[in-house]
Amino acid sequence: MIGSYILISAARNEEIYIERTILSVIDQTRVPNQWLIMSDGSIDRTDEIIQRYADQHSFMKLVRIQPNKKRNFGSKAGAVNAGYELIRHLEHDFVGILDVDVTFPPDYYEKVITRMEAQPDLGIAGGILYDSWHGKFIRQITDIHWSVSGPIQMFTRQCWRQIGGYMSIRGGIDAAAEVMARMHGWKVRAFPELSVRHHRKTGSENRGVFRVFLQRGIEDYEMGYHPLFFFLRALRRFSEKPWILGGVTMLVGYFWSITKKNNRKVPEDFVRYLRSEQMGRLLHYWKRTRKAP
């Protein structure tokens, strides 16, 4: 028998997507001990849909919270952290954060947990996200040994508590959690064989696609990314739609933040660790390419 888990979701005006996510969770071979959905001031049919299914499935629970005027990742962090405090007393070995615009196979969580139990030092894990793009699902560009997409992050209970949940920052809460986990000695891993469909492009809620890439650059600066590492990261995005322009827009956001001297949103020890880690990754990659025939 695999370990038990709880799920926490933050939802706001998700009537278009949420029912498909609910059905994916209900169909799991091992359902969560509790799935807490924090509704952040939804004014559409989101709450109605959640409650209809919660009345039929005891592991689901809807909690309405004071609405945040603007949808952002800081409000998601606050909602998720508050949700965990409500159910932390329940039995659980793992804590799953789930956005309500994704779908996945019936054995998804069973497979994630099985892999995590086989690697006790794995603090954050999950599958690979495929974004919806003009009727097709395109795999997100990510380093599977360093990152798990925010909509599907699964934490061990010890890791989640050790890092104190999500930082209450404007953006990049999932990336910040990964850095914090590694700072505490945990590993992070995404599994390519476990695919998850994301029915809208990450970060595109209420924003145009170029605004999404611009914000990525701003957030990476505020997170403390090393300039060289960020530059190469942006170049890598040249191969992601929209071709070239996405990476260029990221660069604009980052270097605009430098000129504006935007404040960092994370502690200095966090920035030092992150930059040391990033330069170590670049050095490792450089040495590996030199050895290649």
1-17 pLDDT per residue, tens: 789 999 999 999 999 99
Cβ–Cβ contacts within 10 Å for residue 45, how many? 15
Chain mean pLDDT for the chain: 91
Q: How far apart are CA 132 and CA 230, in angstroms?
A: 25
The three-class DSSP label of residue 205 is coil
Torsions phi, psi of 37, nearest 5? -110, 115
Cβ–Cβ contacts within 10 Å for residue 52, how many? 13
Average pLDDT value for residue range 161-185: 93
Indicate whether 250 pLDDT > 90.
yes
Is the pTM for the entire model greater than 0.85? yes
Indicate whether 74 pLDDT > 60.
no
In the structure encoding, which two tokens stand for residue 72, read together? 């952002």
Q: How far apart are CA 118 and CA 92, in angstroms?
A: 17
DSSP-assigned letter for residue 67: P
Place of tokens 């924003």: 207
In the structure encoding, which two tokens stand for residue 288, read together? 């590996």
In contact, 95 and 160? CB cutoff 8 Å: yes
In contact, 103 and 154? CB cutoff 8 Å: no
**All structural domains of the chain:** 5-198 (3.90.550.10), 209-291 (no CATH)
Average pLDDT value for residue range 131-143: 86
Nearest 5 degrees, angle CA 93-CA 94-CA 97? 160
| pLDDT, tens digit (0-9, with 9 covering 90-100), for 186-229 | 999 999 999 999 997 655 454 567 888 898 899 999 999 999 99
Percent of the residues in the chain that have a pLDDT greater than 70, as a whole number: 93
Average pLDDT value for residue range 231-248: 84
Place of tokens 């029915």: 199
End-to-end CA, the chain = 46
Return the pLDDT at 206: 47
Q: Which of 149, 245, 158 is nearest to 194 (CA)?
A: 149
